[in-house]
Amino acid sequence: MKKKVFITGVLGQDGANMAEYLINNTDYDIFGMIRRSSNPNFINCKSFLKNSRFKLVYGDLSDSVSIDSLVQEIQPDYFINFGAQSFVGCSWEIPLQTFDTNATGVARCLEAIRKHRPTCRFYSAGSSEEFGDVTYTPQDISHPIRPRSPYGASKAAARHIVKVYRESYNLYAVHGILFNHEGTKRGEEFVTRKITKGVARIKKAIDNNKAFDAIELGNLDSKRDWSDSEDFIDGVWKILNQERPKDYVLSSNETHSIREFIELAFKAAGIQGAWHGKALSEEYSATTEYAIKHDLNSSVLVKINPKFYRPAEVDLLLGNSCPAREELGWSPKTSFENLVNKMVENDLLCS
Ligand code: GDR
């Protein structure tokens, strides 16, 4: 009988990339869970939505009845939980919903598996946000849990409950610690996509001799370890298919600032810029030469808006994914520069 994979969060970046990966690399049947919404966005699923091996099902991580029934009915061989309130910045505004979906939601999944399908392999999407205000660099799987946001705390709680169920009930349940991962399916509120969409908007305006507004961002000082989501999906699948369950870190093992991302993104669109000013007055502007050549009214490309600052920040993330590389034979293929170029090219085409 064909194996069955149940994926939550299938409309999001990672869920859609995982469904696409499994359609292309296995003959398994895929069940993608979506929440009831009057206006669902299927843009990330367009390549497989009509595939005969893919089926959409309704459910909600906050509703144990739905999770329980779905596991009982489908009897999945793999349960991959990418459903989440995944936006750190918003987690201070909706801390309880964040915790309920990201932590209690994981307990609901594990309970359903324990009761109805204990042989099912479970993946919990953990995050480098669990490390928070880091005590050493690079961060590996043994780094202490020191979250700085309700989001980070919710993912840390999920990690604990996965361990408890794995050890108490002998389930194949793993919690992968994934550092930042981006791509052309990335949500527009995350800083990378906000930048690449903004660059494409500004480039289009310049090409059409129109005025444009600068991209407004918050803290430019934080540093992140960015990879391509598609590379991570292969790593997640390898984590799920070991002989024995074990948690791993997935990361690029490089760190870059938001400023570096901005510089590369404008460069990819052929726009030359430079930094001016400090703190809240800092701006990234087109160089004088570029502004004259393109007859720009305003040359400001990026400016600071304090509303995008967070109540507490994770300043530096840099992962150590050597164990995943050595033990799983996994490694990321896309470099930081190629990731930025790919995202900008995609947004230039779509703008
Ligand atoms: P992050 O990603 O919080 O690292 O979590 P995000 O892209 O939201 O922020 C990265 C850094 O950029 C700074 N920043 C801004 N961020 C956003 N979103 N918007 C802005 O305007 C802006 N200006 C500056 C942030 O302060 C932060 O330092 C991501 C998510 O995908 C999580 O779900 C995942 O678990 C972790 O990565 C690993």
Residue 1 confidence (pLDDT): 87
CB 181 within 8 A of CB 12: no
Query: Which residue's CA lies nearest to atom 16 of ligand 1?
Result: 191
Position 167, amino acid: E
The C-alpha atoms of residue 313 and residue 277 are separated, in whole angstroms, by: 22
CB 162 within 8 A of CB 110: yes
Distance 41 CA to ligand 1 centre (A): 22
Residue 126 confidence (pLDDT): 98
The C-alpha atoms of residue 99 and residue 147 are separated, in whole angstroms, by: 13
The C-alpha atoms of residue 201 and residue 267 are separated, in whole angstroms, by: 14
CA distances from 231 to 24, 84, 217, 228, 313 (A): 14, 20, 27, 5, 26
The two structure tokens encoding residue 298: 């305003």
Burial class (CB in 10 A: 0-12, 13-18, 19+), 92: middle
Residue 93 confidence (pLDDT): 98
DSSP 130-170: GT-S-SSSSB-TTS-----SHHHHHHHHHHHHHHHHHHHH-
- Whole-model pTM: value is 0.97
Give residue ranges with CB within 6 A of ligand 1: 86, 88-89, 127-129, 179-180, 189-192, 194, 217-219, 222, 224, 258, 308, 310, 313
Pocket test for ligand 1, best of 101, 154, 180 (most atoms within 8 A of CB): 180
What is the mean pLDDT for each group of 10 consecutive residues in the chain (351 residues)?
A: 97 98 98 95 97 98 98 99 98 98 98 98 98 98 98 98 98 98 98 98 97 98 97 98 98 98 98 97 98 95 98 98 98 98 97 80
Residue 95 confidence (pLDDT): 98
